[in-house]
Every structure is written in structure tokens, then in C-alpha cells.
């Protein structure tokens, strides 16, 4: 019993860390798809770019870890703004098919560029000394870095939710998600709102990619390999909501870890079966608006 309880604690802990990374990366995708109705399969590119930014800032320019994270966030957010203005915005009115094709094209190109610049091997991750090792409490060892990961992400999520629920910008975003034409007609500059929101979402993905580089290795095929998981988080959680993907990401993180721990032979099945079950019962996702 004691053993079972302690493995339960460990599964919950590691699942939480994995789930938080999934959430940071996917929340931007949920907002992009909910707000702009844009099927952005290339969202993982921003996460990968964030990972590369942070790692190369640290290894090539000797930037300290906290600053490297800030750099990753800002650089990717800025770059995504440019992309949104010049490429994405032209396709808002296009069909889903064109959007799918276009973003798959972007993935292909980014995979080749990443390979050219960084080579095919995954990037080595050097976390700073003060985040290495284990923390000891409740009679168990917890890897320090993952504790930091959870604490940092939770604060970030709290900040994000506060921003959306309590600020003027948040109110405008919510209004636009609800009824875009109406929002426009009361004078909200939706196109600028799109750009800013897109940049924020990409920046968060970059943070997720950078912080999660320990868990999800940063390498050229990143945007392809993990796309299914990002999409599952968004679809199961529900479009355009913040809470939905959060719950979905945690569920997936914990359940995936639990399956790998207790039934490693069938670990991979669970996520897909759960996804099918949820979407059949609630096609709009757990927290999505019924249409």
C-alpha cells in the first residue's frame, strides 16, 4: 500500500510536469484556432524555434538561463508577428484545406532550415547547476528542474488567466471569440488584436519548447513528431478556451505517465481511445462552446 501510494505521487508529479509543458505549447494553438478560425498545423514550429533559441543562446553566447528564456520568448513572438502580418493574415479567409496545406508547407521548410543550421542531432540541454539534482520532501526525491518547471508554469498560467479575465485586452479577445462581426462593429481593431494574440500564443509555445527541452528533445522533426499531441490537447479541451486545454493537457500528461508506468505494453493506446471517447460524447471538446 505504501509502495502504491508513493508511486501514485510520482506518477502525478511527472504527469503534471509533462502536462504543463503540453499546455504552454498548445494554449496558443487553441486561441489561434478559436479566435481566427485558422488551422495552424505549424504551431509546433514556434515551440521548436523557442527551444533552439534558448539552447543556442546558452551554449554559443553564454547567456544565463533566465535571460535565455526571455530571449526565446521575445524573439519567437516578434518573428511570429512578422509571419502573421505577411503570410497568415492573407489566408484567414481561405478554406481550411488551403490553411492545412500552407502550414504543412511551413513545417517542411522549417524542418529543412533547422537541419541546415543545427544539424540532425537533438540539441544538448545544459540546465544550470542550481536546478540540477533532487529535492527531498514527503520522503521522496523530486528532480529539482521538474519542480521548477511546475511552479514556473503554474504562475505563468495564473498570469495569463488574470490577463484574459481581468484586463481590457482580455475582454476584447473574449468579445472577438464570441462574435467577431459584433466586436468589429463596436470599434475593436480585430486585425491588430489577432496579431498581438498570435504573437502571445507563439511566444508561449516558445517558452514551452524552451522549458520542455529536457522532456521533449529539440530536433529538426519536432513540429511533425509532436503535432498529434498538440492537436489532441486543443480538440479535447475545446477551441478558444483557456481552461479546456489546461484540463486536457493535465489529463493527458498524467494518464500517459500512469499508463507508461503501470501498463507499459499498452501505454500508447490510452490517449487515442480517450480522445475518441471524448470527441464522440462532446464533439466540441470538454470546455468548447456547442455550435
36-55 binders of other proteins (CB under 8 A): 39
Choose the stretch contacting other proteins; rule: CB under 8 A; options: 153-161, 189-197, 203-211, 223-231: 223-231
Residue from 94, 117, 159, 171 touching other proteins (CB under 8 A): that is 94
Choose the stretch contacting other proteins; rule: CB under 8 A; options: 2-10, 77-85, 153-161, 196-204: 2-10
Of the candidates 287, 161, 291, the one whose C-alpha atom is nearest the C-alpha of residue 235 is 287
| CB closer to other proteins, 163 vs 267 | 267
Of the candidates 286, 202, 206, 289, the one whose C-alpha atom is nearest the C-alpha of residue 240 is 289
Residue 268 in contact with other proteins, rule: CB under 8 A? yes
Distance between terminal CA atoms of the chain?
A: 46
Residue from 8, 130, 134, 158 touching other proteins (CB under 8 A): that is 134
From residue 154, give the alpha-carbon distance in Å to each of 133, 157, 196, 289: 21, 5, 22, 25
Residue 107 in contact with other proteins, rule: CB under 8 A? yes
Residue from 8, 61, 78, 112 touching other proteins (CB under 8 A): that is 112
Phi-psi region of 140 (alpha: psi -120 to 50; beta: other; left: phi over 0): beta
Residue 120 in contact with other proteins, rule: CB under 8 A? yes
The CB-of-217 to other proteins minimum distance in angstroms stands at 5
Q: Site mask, other proteins, residues 171-210, x = CB under 8 A?
A: ----------------------------------------
- CB of 250 closer than 8 Å to CB of 16: yes
Q: How far apart are CA 207 and CA 49, in angstroms?
A: 10
Please give the grid coordinates belonging to residue 213: 527541452
Choose the stretch contacting other proteins; rule: CB under 8 A; options: 147-155, 187-195, 196-204, 214-222: 214-222
Instruction: Indicate if the alpha-carbon torsion angle 109, 114, 115, 120 is positive or negative.
Output: negative
The CB-of-99 to other proteins minimum distance in angstroms stands at 8
Residue 59 in contact with other proteins, rule: CB under 8 A? no
142: helix, strand or coil? strand
Q: How far apart are CA 244 and CA 67, in angstroms?
A: 31
Choose the stretch contacting other proteins; rule: CB under 8 A; options: 147-155, 160-168, 187-195, 259-267: 259-267
Amino acid at each position: 500500500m505504501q509502495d502504491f501510494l508513493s508511486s501514485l505521487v510520482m506518477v502525478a508529479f511527472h504527469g503534471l510536469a509533462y502536462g504543463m509543458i503540453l499546455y504552454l505549447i498548445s494554449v496558443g494553438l487553441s486561441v489561434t484556432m478559436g479566435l481566427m478560425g485558422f488551422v495552424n498545423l505549424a504551431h509546433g514550429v514556434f515551440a521548436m524555434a523557442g527551444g533552439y533559441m534558448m539552447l543556442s543562446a546558452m551554449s554559443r553566447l553564454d547567456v544565463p538561463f533566465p535571460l535565455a528564456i526571455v530571449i526565446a520568448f521575445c524573439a519567437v513572438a516578434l518573428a511570429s508577428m512578422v509571419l502573421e502580418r505577411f503570410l497568415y493574415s492573407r489566408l484567414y479567409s481561405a478554406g481550411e484545406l488551403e490553411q492545412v496545406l500552407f502550414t504543412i508547407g511551413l513545417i517542411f521548410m522549417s524542418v529543412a532550415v533547422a537541419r541546415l543550421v543545427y544539424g540532425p542531432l537533438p540539441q544538448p540541454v545544459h540546465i544550470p547547476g542550481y536546478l540540477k539534482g533532487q529535492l527531498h520532501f514527503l520522503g521522496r526525491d523530486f528532480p529539482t528542474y521538474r519542480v521548477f518547471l511546475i511552479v514556473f508554469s503554474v504562475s505563468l498560467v495564473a498570469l495569463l488567466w488574470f490577463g484574459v479575465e481581468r484586463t481590457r485586452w482580455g475582454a476584447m479577445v473574449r468579445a472577438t471569440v464570441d462574435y467577431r462581426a459584433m466586436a468589429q462593429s463596436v470599434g475593436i481593431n480585430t486585425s491588430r488584436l489577432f496579431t498581438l494574440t498570435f504573437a502571445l500564443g507563439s511566444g508561449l509555445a516558445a517558452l514551452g519548447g524552451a522549458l520542455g527541452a529536457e522532456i521533449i528533445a529539440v530536433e529538426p522533426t519536432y513540429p511533425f513528431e509532436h503535432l498529434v499531441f498538440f492537436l489532441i490537447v486543443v480538440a479535447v479541451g475545446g477551441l478558444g478556451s483557456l481552461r479546456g486545454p489546461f484540463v486536457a493537457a493535465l489529463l493527458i500528461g498524467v494518464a500517459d505517465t500512469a499508463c507508461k508506468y503501470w501498463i507499459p505494453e499498452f501505454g500508447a493506446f490510452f490517449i487515442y481511445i480517450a480522445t475518441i471517447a471524448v470527441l464522440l460524447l462532446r464533439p466540441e471538446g470538454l470546455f468548447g462552446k456547442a455550435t
